[in-house]
Amino acid sequence: MSQALSTDVLIVGGGIAGLWLNARLRRQGFATVLVENARLGGGQSVKSQGIIHGGAKYALHGALTGASEAIADMPRRWREALSGNGELDLVGVRLLSDAHYLWSPGSLAGNITSFFASKAVRGRVDQVKGEQLPPALQHPKFKGKVYRLAELVLDVPSLINRLSELAGDGLLAAERIEPLRENGELVGLIIDGREIRAQRIILSAGRGNAELLSALDLSQPAQQLRPLHMVLVKGPTLKPLYAHCLGGGPKPRVTITTHPAADGQWVWYLGGDLAEADGVARNEAAQIQAAQKELSELLPWVDLSTAQWATLRVERAEPAQSGLVRPDNAFLHEQGKLLVGWPTKLALAPDFADRVLAALARDGLQPAQHAPLPALPRPTVAPPAWEELF
């Protein structure tokens, strides 16, 4: 058997939530080991659009919901971290856009929705025109209205890389994870035959939490999966666009973010209502056709004749909610030494870490002395989805 180890906190799941938490714990002096059985960020994280929401899209009918209020402070916290003056030092993470936008294509319903959105989130929305418009909308044929949100869009691959740097020597690639119990109490995990004891064990593996809980003979907390069928477009004529295109409903008609490909071209990543219920039911060809129709109606001046198209299915893992509704906040469930959670959204990774740190502080958990970690097999970082699809 491999050498047994001990640590203060053992984290399972190397997405943004686990990596962010790991870095926060280390900054406070805790010894940590983070275990990943695939590639860092390779689940939901690397498939994220990278938007650090401030809640505007949850207020499209003029009312600030619980989700909008809970997430309102996230852009400030992320900006401070990006500047090196926040709870983490994320200097070097690529900022794709300093703002995200609400974009009404000019329809009556869209204009009404954007008006109420701007009133509901006053102080967080400003209308922009002319040269202030996103590059893709600076065209004579564009007749809509655009509102600039005090949000931001990050390059998620560079974020994963930076957070993995902050993990130091505490990352561990794993294939098999089993419980380590003494007198019926969970005291650690057995990772590929190596015992790792910890004061607390935290599951932050997204969809993998359900499988991990099953391996621990636990049924709670229950998990729900909300599927998406995203569309990717790559081409030499694309210009940067980071915006929710508004329709008349409570969700954006389509959400577009733009990402740099390794060959220098831009990739548009399409979510929003396009990727939800009807989109999930479509096969790849039908979903691409639906996206082509949307873009031809909304952005008819963009030449997509040489563009490459692909789709990507994503399953958002969250704590189970009645009616599969989206949770408003990060979620944490405690059961003895085991803590299980989901951030529920990329932007809420700091909120998830807050909840874990509050639980440790409440229990009076302090960093302990541990032997230095040996050289551990380190998981690799997942490549961007578009590099694998195109």
Please report the pLDDT score of residue 322 as a whole number.
73
DSSP state of 130: G
Sorted by where each starts, the structural domains of the chain and their CATH numbers stand as 5-45+158-222+323-389 (3.50.50.60), 62-154+225-317 (3.30.9.10)
The Cα-based distances of 290 to 86, 107, 232, 294, 349 in angstroms read 42, 19, 12, 6, 32
pLDDT at 173 over 90: yes
Please report the pLDDT score of residue 321 as a whole number.
81
Contact 34, 19 (CB under 8 A): yes
State pLDDT tens for residues 59-76: 554 445 555 566 888 999
Helix (H) / strand (E) containing 371: none
In the block, residue with structure tokens 């989109």: 279
CA separation for the pair 382, 42 (Å, rounded): 5
State pLDDT tens for residues 281-314: 999 999 999 999 999 999 999 999 999 999 999 9
36 CB-contact burial (10 Å; exposed 0-12 / middle 13-18 / buried 19+):
buried
Torsion over CA: 290, 41, 158, 71 (sign): positive
- For residue 227, cis peptide bond before it (omega within 30 degrees of 0): no
From 151-160, 236-245, 248-257, the region with the lowest mean pLDDT: 248-257
158 vs 1 pLDDT, higher one: 158
Instruction: Tell me if residue 62 falls in helix, strand or coil.
Output: coil
Please report the pLDDT score of residue 104 as a whole number.
86
Please report the pLDDT score of residue 66 as a whole number.
53
Average pLDDT across the chain, whole number: 90
Nearest Cα neighbor of 188 from 388, 4, 322, 372 is 4
State pLDDT tens for residues 110-126: 555 555 555 555 556 78
Please report the pLDDT score of residue 56 as a whole number.
65
CA separation for the pair 345, 207 (Å, rounded): 13
348 vs 62 pLDDT, higher one: 348
- The mean pLDDT value for 239-252 works out to 86
Q: What is the pLDDT confidence band of residue 324, given thresholds at 50, 70 and 90?
A: low
Strands 32-36 and 185-191: unpaired
Give residues with Cβ within 8 angstroms of 78, minimum separation 6.
52, 86, 90, 152, 154, 347, 350
Q: What percent of the chain has pLDDT over 70?
A: 90
Please report the pLDDT score of residue 65 as a whole number.
54
